[in-house]
Amino acid sequence: MGRLDNKVAIITGAAKGIGLACAERFVKEGARVVGTDVDEPTGRQNIAKLGDNAIFIRHDVSKEAEWQKVFAEAEKRFGKVDILVNNAGILEFNNAEEVDGDSWHKILSVDLDGVMWGVKSAIPAMKQHGGSIVNISSIAGLIGISNLYAYNAAKGGVRMLTKSAALYCAEKGYPIRVNSVHPGYIHTPMVDKYPEMRQSLEALHPVGRLGEPNEVTNLALYLASDESSFSTGSEFVVDGGYTAQ
């Protein structure tokens, strides 16, 4: 028996990194998975390796209409949706004095708007039979980082959006749980874009290293499964001690 038997999951940003690790693990635990990403070649190639229980859809999370397409296709292919992992995200360094409007809106459109549209789309799809929404935020949603101005704003917004949605679902009597996950710096392509920062980023974590995608996946799996049935509106940190300092 798998921990996600008979469940259907949509995972955004699934072409690589944390999203791909979630897709791989969820399929192993019995789920059928719809992996989405804007990186279509990589996404199709990697999701195809997971077999008949996984499909790939190209998907820009910042556009509401594309969310409707993804949910419609998931329900057509697999009959329902039980789990949404809002993982898609982008990262740029900027600060409060030098940030420009293009950079600000680019980050928020994917990292915050994308999560908002995902939650909005998932609730009507899940409210009859129940489900779990897992929003991948960041330690930047818990603490300030001076050179991550827009990213801080987006990930902090994801944290509070999660709590609001969780309370709304509970008040409505919908059997939907909504939680956020807050990773530290994880060894993914997004972080690997900055090899010159690797040593300094590792030093920020008391355990002395970056996290691995599977270490975030373990937490996402718990929240996606029925094992976390009494958890909603909560934030779960996986950061090697970063925010304990």
User: Does 244 fall in a domain?
Assistant: no
**Diameter of the chain by CA atoms?**
53
Q: Tell me what the pLDDT averaged over the chain comes to.
A: 97
Q: 195 near 188, Cβ under 8 Å? A: no
Strand partners, 32: 8
Q: Report yes or no: 113 and 135 within 8 Å, Cβ to Cβ.
A: no
Judge whether residue 46 has pLDDT over 90. Answer: yes
Establish if 195 belongs to a structural domain.
yes
pLDDT tens per residue across span 169-192: 999 999 999 999 999 999 988 888
Domain contains 58: yes
Q: How many domains does the chain have?
A: 1
Q: How many CA atoms lie less than 13 Å away from 154 in the CB half-sphere?
A: 31
Return d(Cα 146, Cα 56) in angstroms, integer: 36
Burial of 90 per CB tally in 10 Å (0-12, 13-18, 19+): middle
DSSP 223: H
Active-site annotation holds for 151 = yes
Q: Which of 149, 151, 185, 242 is catalytic?
A: 151
pLDDT bin (cut points 50, 70, 90) of residue 215 is very high
Whether residue 150 is contained in a domain is answered as: yes
146 domain residue, yes or no: yes
pLDDT-derived band at 27, boundaries 50, 70, 90: very high
Among 52-56, 63-67, 187-191, which stretch is predicted with the lowest mean pLDDT?
187-191
Identify the domain containing residue 170 by its residue range.
Answer: 8-237
Confidence of residue 197 (pLDDT cuts 50, 70, 90): confident
CATH of the domain at 171: 3.40.50.720
> % helix / strand / coil in the chain, to the nearest 5?
50, 15, 35
Tell me the whole-structure pTM to 2 decimals. Answer: 0.97
Which tens digit of pLDDT belongs to each residue from 80-103?
999 999 999 999 999 999 999 999
- Checking if the pLDDT of 166 tops 90, the result is yes
- Rounded to whole angstroms, the Cα distance separating 222 from 186 reads 19
With a pLDDT cut of 90, the percent of the chain lying above it is: 96
Question: Domain for residue 1, yes or no?
Answer: no
Q: Hey, CA dihedral for 139, 140, 143, 147, is it positive or negative?
A: positive
* Residue 178 CB partners (closer than 8 Å, separation 6+): 119, 132, 133, 135, 162, 165, 166, 169, 232, 233
**What is the mean predicted confidence (pLDDT) over 139-162?**
98
Domain annotation covers residue 29: yes
Mean pLDDT computed over 14-42: 98
pLDDT on residue 189: 85
SS3 4: coil
Q: CA dist 5 to 9, 13, 29, 81, 154, Å? A: 11, 22, 7, 13, 33
DSSP-based three-state secondary structure for 183: strand
Residue 178 lies in a domain: yes
